[in-house]
Structure 1
């Protein structure tokens, strides 16, 4: 029971988590607007104000952010965690 109350140093944030966070945030700020611009130019008469329907804007944002976060986490190097030990 004393093991539960021992104070320990916090574990460092793993590389994959950092990469997925940066990928998701970066895509929301840069890639999603670019994708929406491209969709507007190709299918919604790009000469007028953006005519992309709001549900499609949300869906594109969700898909682009999710894919970029997944790819960033997948491609990041694994952080070794010897402190977890198998028992």
Structure 2
């Protein structure tokens, strides 16, 4: 079995999805910062929170996207191989 960047990315997405399913909440903050300073803070920000079943459904969706990424994206650059799989 050949392991590439797409496989590792898919595993990270699956891990994030499982973490969301177990915790049952997602906190997102996005905004505009004041540049590349040492202690950068948001000038304008917006916070969003998903909790309960909607967060768990989002986590399951992330898991599905990760599995599809592993199965459907071809490995053009192989990092390493596992001979027994």
Structure number having the greater helix percentage:
1
TM bin (shorter chain): 0.3 to 0.5
Structure number having the greater strand percentage:
2
* Pair member with larger Rg: 1
TM-score, normalised on structure 2?
0.39
